[in-house]
Amino acid sequence: MHVIAASIMCADQLNLDEELKRLEEAKVELLHCDVMDGVFVNNLAMGPYVLEQIKERTMIPLDIHLATEQPSKYIDMFASIKPKYISFHVEASDDIVRDINKIKDYGVQPVLALSPNSPIELIKPYLTMVPMVLIMTVNPGFAGQKFNYQVLEKLEELNNILQKMESRPLIEVDGNINNLTIPLLLDKGVNVFVLGTSALFNQDEGSYIDKINRLKHLFIQ
């Protein structure tokens, strides 16, 4: 299974209504929504009021990524929006099991997020508790960064672990995902590809439909 997600933070923020319509027409399957607190990462994005309005205006399920300290506080803040997924960074949590269960208690699917420099061992004990893991291929915080090729080894390690599980979580990747990096990720067991400025929200010719269809063609080669 291969899923295309769009990083809505990278869209035209002054024309979100139109952007959402275009993403729906392109059959985007998830909206990846970055929430940043200015502490865990040196940037700020996206508030609950904005995500509430996005949820009201689209049928595309939300995939909220908490790049924050104290994820438990932000889970309470954003879970009422009823996204499909909420991910939090294991590096930022002081009680991973508690935060996983808190997300589940809200009726939302929990996801474990891991930064490029963090080892797989941090998430390994909890893999049976979640339906998906988010492996960052750039440092969280800013769009437009270079792809971290060292993460490929980590993804291979993770895929080898998951292959031994009866019910394996999906693997999501975020950070400079495009026509050059997707082929490198396909044989690492990656399922969900978050598209941002390098592949979707850029000035290249073509509609969102055209851009996404070209990338989906990579899945069947």
**How do the domains of the chain map onto residue ranges?**
3-107+128-197
Region of poorest pLDDT, from 26-30, 58-62, 165-169: 165-169
**Is 92 strand, coil or helix?**
coil
CB of 84 closer than 8 Å to CB of 33 = no
Is residue 174 annotated as a catalytic residue, yes or no?
A: yes
Per-residue model confidence as pLDDT tens digits over 79-115 = 999 999 999 999 999 999 999 999 999 999 999 999 9
Distances (CA, A) of 210 to 44, 59, 199, 217: 31, 21, 11, 11
> 71: pLDDT confidence band, cut at 50, 70 and 90?
very high
CA angle, 5 then 6 then 10, to 5°: 155
What's the chain's length in residues? 221
Q: Are 199 and 207 in contact (CB under 8 A)?
A: no
- pLDDT average, residue stretch 6-23: 96
Q: Which residues pair with 64 in a beta bridge?
A: 33, 86
* C-alpha atoms less than 13 angstroms from C-alpha of 43 in its C-beta half-sphere: 13
Q: Spelled out in words, what is the top-level CATH class assigned to the domain 3-107+128-197?
A: alpha beta
Which band of pLDDT confidence, cut at 50, 70 and 90, is reported for residue 221?
Answer: low
Render pLDDT for 137-189 as a digit per residue (tens, 0 to 9): 999 877 777 999 999 999 999 999 999 999 999 999 999 999 999 999 999 99
Our answer to whether residue 76 is catalytic in this structure is: no
Count the neighbouring beta carbons within 10 Å of the beta carbon of residue 120. Answer: 18
Q: How many CA atoms lie within 13 A of 133 on its CB side?
A: 27
- What was the pLDDT predicted at 122? 98
pLDDT reading at 201 higher than 90 = yes
Q: What is the pTM of this model?
A: 0.96
Average pLDDT, the chain: 95
Distance CA 44, CA 167 (A): 35
The catalytically annotated residue of 12, 17, 34, 63 is 34
From 37, 63, 99, 174, active-site residue? 174
